[in-house]
């Protein structure tokens, strides 16, 4: 298996390549703004690797899904997303994809919905789809069980920065439950939606438990973020603790 994370460009999410012996997939290619640049970066990274068989999305937001149509049409492969997000992509919805807050159009994108607990076999690498709602209703993670790796999307946007639940289709109790579910996986590493990887069982568990406890406290406070934390920019997928959480 080869797993490669391409750091984000400006607003974009991190883009992830997963390759097995027979096929590769690309996860969360980012906005449509940089799609030509992203395609060039991806094709350079994919040189010598099996052909891409699908573009996988962790959720519907423009900063993760905006370039999916361009890449899928260029490579003649499907775009896959949880059924709860399929209609938003196919209709080019501006609200729940949050494209309106980027002052952008959402390219209408034909998709093939993922199935609950679907297993995607790349040849020697099996990816299991986990429904992990909270940031959005359609949020999923891509779990490679035999390697202890989760591509988490904006369930964990970046280390030390909890995910937002106040965007369209977000839900705080669901986000808390999804973090608890991921804690049961005994992961070795997590690829975050925007920030650096989490490596090692201890770091992963410490970060997840801190997020879980923070979200539990927010539920007790009726879903309100701490008053002294800065208000996030509308296009930002995470909250910024004040003071910073220790790394």
Model pLDDT for residues 154-187, shown as the tens digit of each residue? 999 999 999 999 999 999 999 999 999 999 998 9
Instruction: Return d(Cα 91, Cα 110) in angstroms, integer.
Output: 9
Q: How far is residue 50 from each of residues 36, 176, 214, 226, measured CA to CA in Å?
A: 21, 37, 41, 47
In this predicted structure, what is the pLDDT of residue 28?
Answer: 98
pLDDT at 247 over 80: no
Instruction: Return d(Cα 127, Cα 140) in angstroms, integer.
Output: 12
- pLDDT band at residue 230, thresholds of 50, 70 and 90? very high
In this predicted structure, what is the pLDDT of residue 9?
Answer: 81
In this predicted structure, what is the pLDDT of residue 8?
Answer: 79
Mean pLDDT value across the chain: 95
Quick: pLDDT tens for 94-122.
999 999 999 999 999 999 999 989 999 99
pTM comes to 0.97
Q: Where do we find the tokens 């939606």?
A: 193
Q: How far is residue 124 from each of residues 20, 102, 160, 204, measured CA to CA in Å?
A: 6, 39, 33, 25
In this predicted structure, what is the pLDDT of residue 86?
Answer: 98
In this predicted structure, what is the pLDDT of residue 223?
Answer: 86
- pLDDT band at residue 7, thresholds of 50, 70 and 90? confident
CATH topology classification for 2-220: Metallo-beta-lactamase; Chain A (3.60.15)
- Quote helix, strand, coil % in the chain, to nearest 5: 30, 20, 50
């Amino acid at each position: 298996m080869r797993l490669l994370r391409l750091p984000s460009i400006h607003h974009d999410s991190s883009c992830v390549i997963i390759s097995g012996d027979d096929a590769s997939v690309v996860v969360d290619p980012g906005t449509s703004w940089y799609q030509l640049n992203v395609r060039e970066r991806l094709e350079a990274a994919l040189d010598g690797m099996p052909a891409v068989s699908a573009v996988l999305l962790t959720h519907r937001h423009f900063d993760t899904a905006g370039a999916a149509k361009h890449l899928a049409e260029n490579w003649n492969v499907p775009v896959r997303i949880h059924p709860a997000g399929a209609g938003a992509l196919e209709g080019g919805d501006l609200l729940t994809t949050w494209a309106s807050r980027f002052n952008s159009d959402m390219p209408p994108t034909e998709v093939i919905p993922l199935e609950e607990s679907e297993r995607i076999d790349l040849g020697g690498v099996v990816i299991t789809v986990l429904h992990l709602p909270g940031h959005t209703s359609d949020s999923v993670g891509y779990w490679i069980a035999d390697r202890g790796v989760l591509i988490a999307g904006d369930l964990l946007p970046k280390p030390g920065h909890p995910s937002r639940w106040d965007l369209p289709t977000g839900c705080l109790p669901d986000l808390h439950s999804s973090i608890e579910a991921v804690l049961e996986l005994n992961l070795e590493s997590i690829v975050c939606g925007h920030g650096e990887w989490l490596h090692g069982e201890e770091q992963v568990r410490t970060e997840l438990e801190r997020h879980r406890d923070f979200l539990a406290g927010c539920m007790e406070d009726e879903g309100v973020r701490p008053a002294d934390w800065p208000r996030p920019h509308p296009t930002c997928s995470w909250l910024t603790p004040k003071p910073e959480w220790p790394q």
